[in-house]
């Protein structure tokens, strides 16, 4: 079984305050596991996952404690084969929370319809205040819009440009990025509100562009989102250099995906690209 990673096309940070976000599952990366019923709980971690044993165990125990349960209540034998990369903006912590929630569902400790809300509450352990957008991407099999407090809404993508993800080779901290954005509120509340509105507008352009099959609208939204990230101060030198390189190669739109200060950059193109012509390790995103 697999829990997909996610890519936020638009709406980061502003979604915490009611802005629109557009998010899609990214099936190239995923948390893969096997489970079967057993008399007692056991968790096997493959070598690539073992460095995260304390994090995984802590997330599982936190989830059970919230239900006044313990490991003895999980009647499963679980083998965890891979994780979504953490700190890359692909929803690593969200995927882990969804994985844990799915184990609870298998053990009849929570209901299937509680998957989104329980996972969202569990993710608060990582970020203090989860908007739910990462969870929305990880529990879905299609592109959707999301606004905090509402259920995710899948929509039909009429036509999408060719999209690629390229790594900055930097790991960003979601908590630090959130704090940096929030610090602007005390420094300049007008600018703080204007940037939230700007990101919301970027999301609406991305959504309309995908829904109508209008690549110009989509790219306008993508670039407006990038402008907002820069105004928040969430670009590093490597991000600037990578963006410049992608634009020079012919990309029509580039923005960070995730909280910023590292992770992946999302780029939009009018024609399919050869991966060897893009920065090393680039991946195609199919909507």
**Can you list the pairs that 109-118 forms with residues at least 24 positions away whose Cβ atoms lie under 8 Å?**
109/64, 109/67, 109/69, 109/73, 109/74, 110/67, 115/139, 116/151, 116/152, 118/63
Residue with more model confidence, 88 or 241? 241
pTM of this prediction?
A: 0.93
Burial class of residue 150 (count of CB atoms within 10 Å of its CB; 0-12, 13-18, 19+): exposed
pLDDT class of 27 with cuts at 50, 70, 90? confident
pLDDT of residue 29: 83
pLDDT of residue 41: 95
Average pLDDT over residues 32-57: 93
Fold of 2-153: Ribosomal Protein S5; domain 2 (3.30.230)
Average pLDDT over residues 111-127: 91
Residue with more model confidence, 86 or 134? 134
Q: Where are the domains of the chain?
A: 2-153, 162-285
pLDDT of residue 53: 93
pLDDT of residue 89: 84
Average pLDDT over residues 69-82: 94
pLDDT at 172 over 90: no
| CATH code linked to domain 162-285 | 3.30.70.890
Q: What is the pLDDT of residues 238-265, one digit of tens each?
A: 999 999 999 999 999 999 999 999 999 9
42-45/76-80 β-pairing: parallel
pLDDT class of 175 with cuts at 50, 70, 90? confident
């Amino acid at each position: 079984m697999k829990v997909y990673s996610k890519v936020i096309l638009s709406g980061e940070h502003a979604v915490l305050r009611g802005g629109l976000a557009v998010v899609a599952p990214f099936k190239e990366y995923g948390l893969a596991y096997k489970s079967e019923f057993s008399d007692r709980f056991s968790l096997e971690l493959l070598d690539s996952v073992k460095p995260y044993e304390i994090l995984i165990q802590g997330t599982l125990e936190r989830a059970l404690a919230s239900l006044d349960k313990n490991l003895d209540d999980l009647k499963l034998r679980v083998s965890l084969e891979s994780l979504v990369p953490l700190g890359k903006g692909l929803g690593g912590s969200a995927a882990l929370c969804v994985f844990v929630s799915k184990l609870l569902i298998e053990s009849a400790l929570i209901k299937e319809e509680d998957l989104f809300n329980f996972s969202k509450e569990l993710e608060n352990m990582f970020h203090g205040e989860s908007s739910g957008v990462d969870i929305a991407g990880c529990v879905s099999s299609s592109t959707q819009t999301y606004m905090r407090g509402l259920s995710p809404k899948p929509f039909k993508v009429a036509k999408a440009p060719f999209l690629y993800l390229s790594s900055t080779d930097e790991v960003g901290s979601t908590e630090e990025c959130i704090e940096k954005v929030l610090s602007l509120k005390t420094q300049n509340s007008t600018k703080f509100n204007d940037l939230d509105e700007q990101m919301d507008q970027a999301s609406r352009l991305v959504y309309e562009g995908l829904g109508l099959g209008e690549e110009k609208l989509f790219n306008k939204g993508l670039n407006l989102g990038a402008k907002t990230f820069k105004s928040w101060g969430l670009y590093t030198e490597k991000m600037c250099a990578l963006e410049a390189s992608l634009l020079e190669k012919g990309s029509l739109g580039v923005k960070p995906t995730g909280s910023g200060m590292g992770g992946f950059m999302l780029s939009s193109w009018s024609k399919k690209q050869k991966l060897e012509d893009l920065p090393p390790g680039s991946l195609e995103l199919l909507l």
